[in-house]
Structure 1
Amino acid sequence: MLRFAPSSTQEMNIGNLRVAIFNYILSKQLNEKLLIKIEDTNSQKNSEDKEKEILELLNLFSIEYAQVVNQSGNLKYYQKLAMQLMNEKKAFACFCSDAKLEEIKEELEKEGKPFRYDGFCENLSDETVLNCNAPFTVRLKKPKEAVTFTDLLKGEFTFKPFEVDSFIILNHDKTPTYDYACAIDDMLYDISVVLREEKYLSNTPKQIHVRDSLNYNKKIEYIHLPGILNEIPVKMLIDEGFLPSAIANYLVLLGNKTPKEIFTLEEAVEWFDIKNISQNSVKFDIDKLKFINKKHLEKIDEMRLSKILGFADTDIGELGKLFLKEADTIKEIKSKIDSIFNKKTTCKGFEKEFTKIKSCMKEAPFYENYNELKEYVIEKTGLKGENFSIPFRYILTGENKGPELLEIYPLIKNYLGEITK
């Protein structure tokens, strides 16, 4: 089982999505299920809207998963296992106040030393603990030996007991801390591979230590993915008119060695190799995404493109593709289509000519051929040169430039009544 673990307090960005996509690809390659685990133990900051948006985006990108679970549903397991650790003297109650811990931290910072718990409450007697009515956290005793693990992308890492520290596993309100909850979840759901961003690499030894303390012996493979330097919300890219297929293509391509530049997620499953990913952080390039998006728009089915644009006509889909000479996104294409169908009231600099041509076109018979319509309007209005061509184009397209009218007309001829309204 693999897992993607987004937080219900944060908006999904392209770094999160890249992790989700890679987990999806690996789950397909390993023939294992993918679990979506919503991290929602922070009840004060949780957002049902964020959770709903995350799942909608995963579905939009065709990321298949076996089930969705909420971390908040595991609270009883976190507390029960913490009690087990305390009974086995592997964890202890810590009565140190936040103010006292902050004081210690400040003193260490002045000395240029990292903060580590000083062990003050570690050896308190059971009697002392029972007689103390102050609120307490639960800390897991630091490991006796170094924690070593191998990252499939970055190699071997070793963390000394001092670096792992005696860290908190239950807060004052008895909710779990991040590392403790993650470690327990990976046990509960039989996770075999954890692929996440490299900013969580230092969390890994703590999570391994939790499982070791509970005598959990299953080995979990770790892959820590270099981050994206300039992370952007995924929803913003969708709203700007980028296709999910193009965004996925770019995120797989980013910092990777691939056999080709333009591909689908299904194709990537066939050849993707996590070991080809660069170990360096990568920069998101919007211009590169635009290039890839245009390539995907060129390949998209005309009827599907038409429906995305709000129609159900292959002619409109073909018309949309005509604008790819000057547009990169659905939003830009839709702007061109809207210009055609929006009501035009005048054409600056050619006001009289505009009125004359528009009146003529409203009375014109239907013509299959563009040149026949053009000749009809010229004959009826007596207009020539720019006095005809500029307002005539503007009435048909709402623009002063763009693809040839000879290319556009066959695709809009059935809508002339609406266009010249």
Structure 2
Amino acid sequence: MTVTTRFAPSPTGFLHIGGARTALFCWLYARRHGGRFVLRIEDTDLERSTPEAINAILEGLSWLGLDYDEGPLYQTHRFERYRAVIDRMLEEGTAYRCYCSKERLEGLRADQQARKEKPRYDGRCRELTEPPADAEGQPVIRFRQPHEGHTVVNDRVKGKVIFDNAELDDLIIARGDGTPTYNFVVVVDDMDMEITHVIRGDDHLNNSARQSNILKALAVEPPVYAHVPMILDEAGKKLSKRTGAASVTDYRDAGYLPEAVINYLVRLGWAHGDQEVFTLDEMIEYFDIADINHSASSLNPSKLDWLNQHYMKTLPPAHVARHLAGHLGALGIDPGAEGAPDIEAIVEAQAERSKTLVEMAENSRFFYEMPARYDEKAARKHLAGAGPILEALVGALEALEHWRAEDIHQAVVGVAEEHELKMGKVAQPLRVAVSGGPVSPPIDATLVLLGRQTTLARINRAAEWAAAQDGA
């Protein structure tokens, strides 16, 4: 048996964090067992499904690196197949036509609710052999649900779940206009695509009994089900757009690396001992459905920040730089422009000082463009009265034969010794002069990245600013 999993989103919105985790779990399980991972787009809700949502799903999976072996497969392309299976079920007697009007069904539901009974179809048309005299319009097609005994789902996360068949009504599998319904098309797709393991959110647990019974009616063994507990917000409540139900691309745009998001997602409901950081190969090696937590997990943004900084520091600078480039571009900066500092060197210099790529890009802006203004507090503290120091620095740096970090460091030390100042009294005015603020990578590394010409121009500009303040 080839293990085959599927990720089957409805394209009615973006790929949110819960859906991404489901996709990851399915992908990891298939990869661990040398199986197949299928992407299926469940787009039968024609009114709500949009091309934009489909693109957002594909974009999110691509960014995360979750490649699929088959797909994307679209349910709207398979309507002929669904009709053929329905015809077969009608012929075999596992489905029947229901002629009940909308008004009758609404009245039945109201009466049951008034008696505090669970609303369910009463089976009026279940044994009909021909349309009733009062039939109007096109009938719907219902599945002939077994009403005796129990349906047992041996869920790999929830354990044995027992459903009383008497509580399962004869659900509609095709509407009056012929379009199939969700629970039916899912079953046909899982059957045709030979899905062996269905890993999905536990909000689908109740569907598993109905889907299992339809599969059995089609003489197909149901797949292994694993219903994963939901993800909660930091307060332990259901996710909303306001509290963390963001799209995967929102995490990308906020400056997180895909490796960090993947690592963050895998730990939302799964564990391997006390390990927190995993390579992708380790995730594939260790992941097992049996280790999925039985209770809901909660978002922890600080953990994601920590992971993101870890990956910014440990991944190859060229890889991080590729992702950083887009965030620099969003600031109007062309990192590949002639004379621009090497972006990989920027990553190496800034990784310790940034939690996200957005933060890294903003902190690195001064490497690419002259700061429009000085940080007011830093300038008042470090530049005011520092004209002589800045002029001495210009002289010392201009005299350097080689523009190297060790030579720059010695030049700055020499100015400090000459003026009998502590290093900070020289380095901080220099830092504010070239960066516009009080924070940057080590000053020698900063000046190397800026280059000789830019460095000297900025120090001279700061010296003029300091002189103007002194004369004011």
TM-score class, shorter-chain normalisation, is 0.7 to 0.9
CA distance in 1, matches of 2:192, 2:163: 25
Q: Following superposition of structure 1 onto structure 2, how do residues 83-102 of structure 1 map, counting pairs within 5 Å?
A: 83-102=87-106
Aligned residue for 1:288, secondary structure, equals: helix
Q: Distance in 2 between matches of 1:287 and 1:13?
A: 19
Whether the 8 Å contact between 1:294 and 1:329 is mirrored in structure 2 is yes
How far apart are residue 36 of structure 1 and its match?
Answer: 0.4
Name which of 177, 200, 209 aligns with 2:204: 200
Aligned residue in 2 for 1:236: 250
Give the corresponding residue for 2:347.
320
Moved more, 166-175 or 56-65: 56-65
How much does 1:365 deviate? 6.9
The equivalent residue for 1:286 is 301
Structure 1 counterpart of 2:442: 404
- Structure-to-structure mapping, 1:245-324, within 5 angstroms: 245-259=259-273, 260-310=275-325, 311=335, 316-324=343-351
Residues 1:60 and 2:74 aligned together: no
Instruction: Report the Cα distance in structure 2 between the residues aligned to 1:91 and 1:300, rounded to whole angstroms.
Output: 56
Q: Deviation per CA, 1:231-289: give whole Å up to 9, x if none.
A: 33211111111111111111112232214211122221112222111100111111111
Q: Distance in 1 between matches of 2:453 and 2:191?
A: 61
**CA distance in structure 2 between the aligned counterparts of 1:85 and 1:407, rounded to whole angstroms:** 73
Question: Within 2, Cα distance between the matches of 1:419 and 1:147?
Answer: 79
- Choose the corresponding residue for 2:433, options 368, 371, 395: 395
Query: Per the alignment, do residues 412 and 117 of structure 1 end up closer, same or farther by CA in structure 2, a change over 3 Å counting?
Result: same
> Counterpart in 1 of 2:23?
20
- Amino acid paired to 1:244: P
**1:397, CA displacement in angstroms?**
2.0
Q: Does 1:167 align with 2:167?
A: no
Q: Once the 2 structures are TM-superposed, how far is the Cα of residue 207 of structure 1 from its aligned partner?
A: 0.8
**Could you tell me how far apart the structure 2 residues matched to 1:415 and 1:315 are?**
16
1:125 paired with 2:129, answer yes
Q: How many pairs were matched up?
A: 419
> Do the aligned residues in 2 keep the contact of 1:354 with 1:392 (CA within 8 Å)?
no
* Corresponding residue number in structure 2 for 1:179: 183
Identical positions, percent: 25
Q: Which runs of 5+ in 1 are unaligned?
A: none
TM-score scaled by structure 2?
0.79
Q: Tell me the residue number matched to 2:329.
A: none
- 339-348 or 59-68, larger mean C-alpha shift: 339-348
2:363 corresponding residue in structure 1: 336
Change (3 A) 1:419 1:104: farther
Q: Is the 8 A contact 2:394 2:456 kept in 1?
A: no
SS in 2 for 1:115: coil
1:43 equivalenced with 2:46 (yes/no): yes
Whether the aligned pair in 2 keeps the contact of 1:142 and 1:166 (CA below 8 Å) is yes
1:128 partner SS: coil
**1:413 maps to 2:442:** no
Q: CA separation in 2, counterparts of 1:343 and 1:54? A: 39
Q: 1:346 to 1:229 in 2, by over 3 A?
A: closer
Q: Deviations 1:364-389 (Å, cap 9, x if unpaired)?
A: 577433246658999xxxx9999976
Instruction: Give, in angstroms, the shift of residue 141 of structure 1.
Output: 1.6
1:71 and 2:75 equivalent? yes
- Residues 100 and 229 (structure 1), Cα distance of their counterparts in 2 relative to 1, 3 Å cut: farther
The separation in 2 between residues aligned to 1:151 and 1:139, in whole angstroms, is 26
SS of equivalent residue, structure 1 residue 117: coil
CA distance in 1, matches of 2:191, 2:373: 69
1:63-109: CA deviation from partner (whole Å, max 9, x where unpaired) = 12112111111111111211222223322222333344333333333
Query: Does the CA-based 8 Å contact 1:341-1:419 persist in structure 2?
Result: no
Please say if residues 315 and 412 of structure 1, whose CA atoms lie closer than 8 Å, have aligned partners that are also in contact.
Answer: no
**What code does the residue aligned with 2:449 have?**
L
Aligned equivalents of 2:11, 2:385: Cα separation in 1: 58
**Per-residue deviation at 1:297?**
1.2
Counterpart code for 2:285: E
Do the aligned partners of 1:306 and 1:314 also contact (CA within 8 Å) in 2? no
Q: Give, as a single letter, the amino acid of the residue that structure 1 aligns with 2:259.
A: S
1:189 matched to 2:227? The reply is: no
Task: State the distance in 2 between where 1:102 and 1:57 align.
Answer: 41
Amino acid at match of 2:17: I
Cα deviation digits, residues 130-155 of structure 1 (max 9, x gap): x8441332111221432212111221
Shift in alpha-carbon separation, 1:185–1:346, aligned structure 2, 3 A: closer
Alpha-carbon distance in structure 2 between the residues aligned to 1:22 and 1:197: 11
Structure 1 position 18, deviation (Å): 0.9
Which residue in the other structure is 2:118 paired with? Answer: 114
Residue type at the aligned position of 2:198: V
Change (3 A) 1:384 1:31: closer
Q: Kindly tell me: are residues 371 and 215 of structure 1, through their superposed partners in 2, closer, same or farther at Cα, counting changes over 3 Å?
A: closer
Identify the range of structure 1 (223-232 vs 307-316) with the bigger mean alpha-carbon deviation: 307-316
User: What letter is aligned with 1:240?
Assistant: A
Is the alpha carbon distance of 1:355 and 1:85 closer, same or farther for their aligned partners in structure 2, counting shifts above 3 Å?
farther
Q: Which amino acid aligns with 1:286?
A: P
Q: Which one-letter code corresponds to 2:277 in the other structure?
A: I
TM-score, normalised to structure 1's length? Answer: 0.87
Query: What secondary structure does 2:167 align onto?
Result: helix
| 320 and 355 in structure 1: CA distance in 2 versus 1, 3 angstrom threshold | farther
Corresponding residue SS for 2:65: coil
**Coordinate RMSD, CA, aligned:** 3.4
Letter in 2 for 1:189: M
3-state DSSP class of the match of 1:174? coil
- Mapped partners of 2:205, 2:447: distance in 1: 58
